[in-house]
Amino acid sequence: MHIHPIISSLRRHRTAALLIVLEIALTCAIVCNALFLIGERIDAVRRPSGIAERELLQIRLSGIGPQTDAGARTREDLAALRAVPGVAGATVTNQLPFYRFSSSNSGVSLTADQAQPTLHAARYHADETTIATLGIRLVAGRDFLPDEYMDVAEVEALDGSEGVRGATIVTASMAERLFPGEQAVGRTMYLGPMPLVIVGVVESLARPSPSDGEGTFSFLVPVRLHYNNGGSYLVRVTDPARRDAVLAAAVDALEAVDPNRLILARSAYEAIRADYFRNDREMIGLLSTVSIVLLVVTAFGIVGLASFWVQQRTRQIGVRRALGATRAQILRHFQAENFLLTSTGVVLGMALAYALNQLMMGRYELPRLPLAYLPACALLLWVLGQAAVLWPALRAAAISPAIATRAA
């Protein structure tokens, strides 16, 4: 196919051609960045928590007035929860992955006198059943020993004491960051001046509010909390399909232990996670809608322009048919014309996409747009352009020489 007739046709309609090129360029720039942001949000929403999400329930309580022996009451509560039919385990901890309402974090160092911490990580308090109840997978080392657990009141009394050592279990990503390529079990890390010996490593345990690059930096300490000292009850069910019934029975069991308390929250963990990522899902929907609308508008623009050109060139097409041009050649002419316009728009759009990403990086601290998105968007727009021009091109190919002659 000769390119010169196509270039000549576009020059005679340069204004319309320029408009469609600009439309394709803007669509390419916006869709590239939108798809990148959608991918980022999807990765965030799919981020693993490291716990048995479908099997977990949360119940938060608050006492009314002064509470006597909260530790004993917490033990009664846990015993009552474990006796509920359908409960596989119950524990109390200070926070959860992807949790809006609390976040306990600590700076972790490799030496006691380190000026700046090596990293910041989420600190989870655990009792004897926490790891099993949450479904956390231990990949190295061991669980805490019975004599390593302490009551929260004992910990508060020892705060700042000299010579105090403790045990901890860290996530695999945190262990790798602290001791790259080395065995972490048996090594020591520091919370300020306090040394903690790493006795185990778990596969994953997300932070309540993950940050980029540190979303799985977490560690557990063997500290038993009370229900009214920052702790929440977590119940693991044997059958996720019966979560609602087990949750109602668990609340009844707690009220039977002590009815003079307030139930602050009761929900399945999946609802907690869904609430945490609600804004991300809404952003995915918004960006997807914008991208689809832009692509549809661009497709209609291509259809409209191609249809207009078919109408304007009816006689020219008829003459070419009379001179021996086949329907396939007429079809390829319009497809090649559209390909040139789309390619020009795509090249300009790639430059605009990169510039837009640089602007968002500077203003909103977004990551750099991966180069793989540029050819992906180019391919998408090429396919869209060829699909949009197909119907007008088929109409042009169907014009007979006789109809063109009568229109002269």
| 3-state SS, residue 67 | coil
DSSP 148: G
Type of residue at 333: H
Domain of 172 in residue numbering reads as 53-276
Tell me the backbone φ, ψ of residue 35, rounded to 5 degrees.
Answer: -65, -35
* Pairing mode of beta strands 119-125, 232-237: unpaired
Residues 6+ away with beta carbon under 8 Å from 80 = 253, 254, 256, 257
Per-residue model confidence (pLDDT) at position 159: 60
* Pairing mode of beta strands 166-171, 194-202: parallel
Do 183 and 324 share a domain, yes or no? no
DSSP 385: H
Do 377 and 392 share a domain, yes or no? yes
Do 160 and 21 share a domain, yes or no? no
Q: CA torsion angle for 379, 385, 388, 390 (degrees, to 10)?
A: -100
Per-residue model confidence (pLDDT) at position 282: 95
Determine the Cα–Cα distance for residues 317 and 399; give it in Å rounded to an integer.
7
Do 267 and 307 share a domain, yes or no? no
Q: By C-alpha distance, which of 142, 168, 146, 164 is closest to 155?
A: 164
Residues 6+ away with beta carbon under 8 Å from 378 = 28, 346, 350
Distances from the Cα of 119 to the Cαs of 145, 197, 336, in angstroms? 26, 16, 56
* Pairing mode of beta strands 119-125, 188-191: unpaired
Per-residue model confidence (pLDDT) at position 407: 45
Do 295 and 326 share a domain, yes or no? yes
Per-residue model confidence (pLDDT) at position 162: 47
Determine the Cα–Cα distance for residues 162 and 139; give it in Å rounded to an integer.
32
Do 220 and 307 share a domain, yes or no? no
Work out how many domains the chain is built from and give that number: 2
Mean of pLDDT values over 218-235:
89
Do 233 and 155 share a domain, yes or no? yes
Do 231 and 293 share a domain, yes or no? no
**Domain boundary at 276, 299, 316, which?**
276
- What the block records as the tokens of 262 is 């307030």
Mean of pLDDT values over 72-77:
92
3-state secondary structure the chain: CCCHHHHHHHHHCHHHHHHHHHHHHHHHHHHHHHHHHHHHHHHHHCCCCCCCHHHEEEEEEEECCCCCCHHHHHHHHHHHHHCCCCEEEEEEECCCCCCCCCCCEEEEECCCCCCCCCEEEEEEECCCCHHHHHCCCEEEECCCCHHHCEEHHHHHHHCCCCCCCEEEEEEHHHHHHHCCCCCCCCCEEEECCEEEEEEEEECCCCCCCCCCCCCCCEEEECEECCCCCCCEEEEEECCHHHHHHHHHHHHHHHHHHCCCEEEEEEEEHHHHHHHHCHHHHHHHHHHHHHHHHHHHHHHHHHHHHHHHHHHHCHHHHHHHHHCCCCHHHHHHHHHHHHHHHHHHHHHHHHHHHHHHHHHHHHHHCCCCCCCCHHHHHHHHHHHHHHHHHHHHHHHHHCCCHHHHHHCC
Q: Are 345 and 25 in contact (CB under 8 A)?
A: yes
**Residue appearing with tokens 């069991």:** 253
- What the block records as the tokens of 186 is 């048996």
Weakest-pLDDT range from 123-137, 193-207, 210-224, 373-387: 210-224
Mean of pLDDT values over 210-233:
82
Paired with 169 in beta bridges are 200, 220
Do 161 and 288 share a domain, yes or no? no
Helix boundaries (H) for 46-83: 70-82
**Domain boundary at 253, 276, 299, which?**
276
Q: What is the pLDDT of residues 36-49, one digit of tens each?
A: 999 989 988 999 99
pLDDT band at 198 (very low <50, low <70, confident <90, very high): very high
Mean of pLDDT values over 311-319:
70
Weakest-pLDDT range from 128-137, 146-155, 250-259: 146-155
Q: What is the pLDDT of residues 337-367, one digit of tens each?
A: 888 888 899 999 999 998 888 888 877 777 8
Q: How many CA atoms lie within 13 A of 35 on its CB side?
A: 19
**Domain boundary at 276, 300, 331, which?**
276
Q: Are 184 and 175 in contact (CB under 8 A)?
A: yes
- What the block records as the tokens of 17 is 């051609």
Do 37 and 70 share a domain, yes or no? no
Please state whether the predicted TM-score (pTM) of the whole model is above 0.85: no
Do 330 and 208 share a domain, yes or no? no
Do 186 and 231 share a domain, yes or no? yes
Classify burial at 117, counting beta carbons within 10 Å of its beta carbon; exposed 0-12, middle 13-18, buried 19 or more.
middle
Look at residue 92 and tell me whether its pLDDT is greater than 90.
yes
